[in-house]
Amino acid sequence: MSEPILQVAGLTGGYSPRRPVLHDVTFEVRAGEMVGLIGLNGAGKSTTIKHILGLMKPHQGQVKVDGVTLEDNAERYRSAFAYVPETPVLFDELTVEEHLRLTGMAYHVAEPAFGERQEQLLDEFQMRPKRGAFASHLSKGMKQKVMIMNALLSEPPLYMIDEPFLGLDPLGIRSLLERLVEVKKKGSAILMSSHILSTVEAYCDRFIVMHQGKVAAYGTLEEVCKTAGIETRGGALEDAFYKLVTEGRQ
Ligand SMILES: Nc1ncnc2c1ncn2[C@@H]1O[C@H](COP(=O)(O)OP(=O)(O)OP(=O)(O)O)[C@@H](O)[C@H]1O
């Protein structure tokens, strides 16, 4: 079994110490695998990601990236992942190329690798005509593409991607999925949160089903189906999910 790149162990956390949102959340993402993080609105997916990013401190438990906690070694922890948020965050007065250059410098991607990766990404995401455009002049989906290109440029051990499919056009979605399959083969770990369960099932190796701040099921499709008490078959993730998040409801 490959080494774990992201380890979340017994994580209890949230926005106020008296009212935790996450309860004893435990999972890991290993080198060379894509793990889907799924759950209803408010289940705790973004809060989990905020804890992993180091924006929030665990009340209990710990998060390790590349074998270290943020307290152990902040530099190593932070440089081991790239994060693509649901809503793009760019500098309005920088161009597409300038964003890529900034990322290249931050992640120490030297020439000639930088130039090669940049040109390939501009082609793959149909952004060549916009290379000199300011971020503020890009469409919503184009901004999302720039965030994705920045993440792919840095080639980190861990990718964390939050709901990437909503703003992208069909070609962009295909380019992203093809690239994720490629970086996974090269040994990166990917944590992807999405509500598009058919795509999650098709591309992810394992799944974390979050419900009300807890891990309701975790593992391969077969393991998640077993926890939900249904038979495994193609397309079963949606049924397993439905069962897990409606259990106990009338
Ligand atoms: N800034 C905040 N302050 C206080 N509570 C918050 C804050 N952000 C989220 N919450 C609460 O934390 C819980 C989990 O929310 P979270 O954003 O993690 O859900 P999510 O699974 O990412 O949902 P979605 O699919 O809608 O993005 C919810 O009850 C939500 O109301």
* Tens-digit pLDDT profile for residues 112-137: 999 999 999 999 999 999 999 999 99
Q: Which residues pair with 6 in a beta bridge?
A: 29, 65
Ligand 1 centroid to residue 192 C-alpha, Å: 17
Whether ligand 1 lies within 6 angstroms of the CB of 115 is answered as no
Q: What pLDDT, on a 0 to 100 scale, did the predictor assign at position 44?
A: 96
Cβ of residue 38 lying under 6 Å from some atom of ligand 1: no
Atom of ligand 1 nearest to the CA of 39: 21
Q: What is the pLDDT of residues 47-95, one digit of tens each?
A: 999 999 999 999 999 999 999 999 999 999 999 999 999 888 899 999 9
Peptide bond into 170 cis (omega under 30): no
88 lines ligand 1 (CB under 6 A): no
169 pLDDT more than 80:
yes
Characterize 117-152 residue by residue with b for buried, 16 or more Cβ atoms within 10 angstroms of its Cβ, and e for exposed. Answer: bbeebbebbebeebeeeebeebeeebbbbbbbbbbb
pLDDT in tens, 139-162: 999 999 999 999 999 899 999 999
Nearest CA to ligand 1 atom 30: 42
β-pairing, 4-13 with 34-39?
A: unpaired
Q: How many CA atoms does the CB half-sphere of 191 hold within 13 Å? A: 28
Q: Is the CB of 45 under 6 A from ligand 1?
A: yes
Asked whether 21 lines ligand 1 (CB < 6 A), one says yes
For residue 250, the model assigns a pLDDT of 41
Q: What is residue 95's DSSP assignment?
A: B
Taking residues 22-27, report their average pLDDT: 98
Mean pLDDT of 12-26: 95
Task: Tell the residue nearest (CA) to atom 8 of ligand 1.
Answer: 47
φ/ψ of residue 118, rounded to 5: -60, -50
Q: Using the predicted structure, report yes or no on whether residue 247 has a pLDDT greater than 70.
A: yes
Question: Would you give the DSSP letter of residue 184?
Answer: H
- Measured between alpha carbons, how far is 139 from 162 in angstroms, rounded to an integer? 19
Q: Are strands 22-30 and 4-13 parallel, antiparallel or unpaired?
A: antiparallel
Q: Hey, which of 18, 19, 21 would you mutate to test ligand 1's pocket, going by the most ligand atoms within 8 Å of its Cβ?
A: 21
pLDDT score of 235: 83
Q: Residue 217: count other Cβ atoms within 10 Å of its Cβ.
A: 21
ipTM, two decimals, is 0.97
DSSP string computed for 2-55: PPEEEEEEEEEE-SBTTB-SEEEEEEEEETT-EEEEEE-TTSSHHHHHHHHHTS
Buried b (16+ CB within 10 A) or exposed e, 78-103: bbbbbbbbbebebeeebbbbebbbeb
Atom of ligand 1 nearest to the CA of 195: 25
Reply yes or no on whether the pLDDT at 167 is more than 90. Answer: no
Q: What is the pLDDT of residues 170-196, one digit of tens each?
A: 999 999 999 999 999 999 999 999 999
Specify the pTM: 0.93
Position 234 confidence tier, pLDDT thresholds 50, 70, 90:
confident
pLDDT in tens, 206-224: 999 999 999 999 999 999 9
| Best residue among 23, 40, 45 to mutate for probing ligand 1, ranked by most atoms within 8 Å of CB | 45
Q: Looking at ligand 1, which residue's alpha carbon is closest to its atom 24?
A: 41
Cα 216 from Cα 93, distance rounded (Å)? 43
- pLDDT for res 249: 58
Report the candidate in 66, 78, 69 with the shortest Cα–Cα distance to residue 29: 66
- Looking at domain 1-80+159-250, its CATH superfamily turns out to be P-loop containing nucleotide triphosphate hydrolases (3.40.50.300)
Has residue 20 got a pLDDT over 90?
Answer: yes
All CATH 3.40.50.300 domain ranges of the chain, comma separated, are 1-80+159-250
The pLDDT score that the predictor gives to residue 248 is 59
Residues 6+ apart with CB under 8 A from 203: 34, 36, 177, 180, 181, 192
Neighbouring C-alpha atoms within 13 Å toward the C-beta of 23: 10
Q: Quote the pLDDT of residue 142.
A: 93
CB of 91 sitting under 6 A from ligand 1: no
